[in-house]
Amino acid sequence: MRKGDAVADFDFAEAMDILHRTPAVLDEWLRGLSDEWVMQDEGPETFSPYDVVGHLVHGEKADWIGRARIILEEGEGRTFDPFDRFAMYEESKGKTLPDLLDEFAALRAENLVALEAMELTGEELDRTGTHPELGTVTLSQLLATWTVHDLSHIAQIARVMAKQYKDEAGPWREYIPLLDR
């Protein structure tokens, strides 16, 4: 394989390819793992792997696709509703991790069907909306961020689980910067 060109510039199909995969990746990784792995976080107001999946579920309901529709239908005049990063602390109550993985997979599939059905043109990808804190953003920036948000939370899950073996790794700890991040 050759060293590829950078993805550089937002490419809708490339982004979709990541967005489609995340539910199955999380499922292979987390379903059936013990609570010891999935319920630990990094301290107050941080996320356990279980919290992350709940947070992703909330994003499918309250964030990405809804904001895409606002940009396309209402433009900059209608500021996005603020997104509650901690909504899952309440919303996940009573749900198991397998429940959340199922819910995430179903919502993500549904949202990507809706997104693909929009058949977005380059002109539409450049349309703008108003973020409550960040100001003007484009639809392509929203979709790129959705993609990066998945990847960022995968990295977070890996870090949170790895840290459980911070001491257990003994002297090897110094070779693994993730353990002290």
180 in contact with its own copies (CB under 8 A): no
| Phi and psi angles of residue 16, each rounded to the nearest 5 degrees, phi first | -60, -35
Between CA 160 and CA 44 the distance in angstroms is 13
**Nearest-approach distance from CB 36 to its own copies, in angstroms:** 4
Q: Which of 4, 1, 9, 51 is nearest to 26 (CA)?
A: 51
CB-CB neighbours of 70 under 10 Å: 20
CB 144 within 8 A of CB 10: yes
Enumerate residues 69-128 that contact its own copies by CB under 8 A.
96-97
50 in contact with its own copies (CB under 8 A): yes
| Phi and psi angles of residue 2, each rounded to the nearest 5 degrees, phi first | -90, 160
Q: Identify the DSSP state of 42.
A: S
43 in contact with its own copies (CB under 8 A): no
Distance of CA 5 to the CA centre of its chain: 25
Q: Which of 65, 71, 107, 140 binds its own copies (CB under 8 A)?
A: 140
Between CA 86 and CA 24 the distance in angstroms is 23
45 in contact with its own copies (CB under 8 A): no
CB-CB neighbours of 96 under 10 Å: 11
For its own copies, which stretch binds (CB under 8 A), given 56-64, 65-73, 102-110, 131-139? Answer: 131-139
The count of residues interacting with its own copies (CB under 8 A) is 69
Considering beta carbons, is residue 77 or 170 the nearer one to its own copies? 170
**Nearest-approach distance from CB 63 to its own copies, in angstroms:** 11
Q: Which residues bind its own copies (CB under 8 A)?
A: 1-11, 14-15, 17-18, 21, 24-25, 27-29, 33-41, 48, 50, 96-97, 131, 134-138, 140-142, 144-145, 147-149, 151-152, 154-155, 158-159, 161-162, 164-165, 168-172, 174-176, 178-179, 181
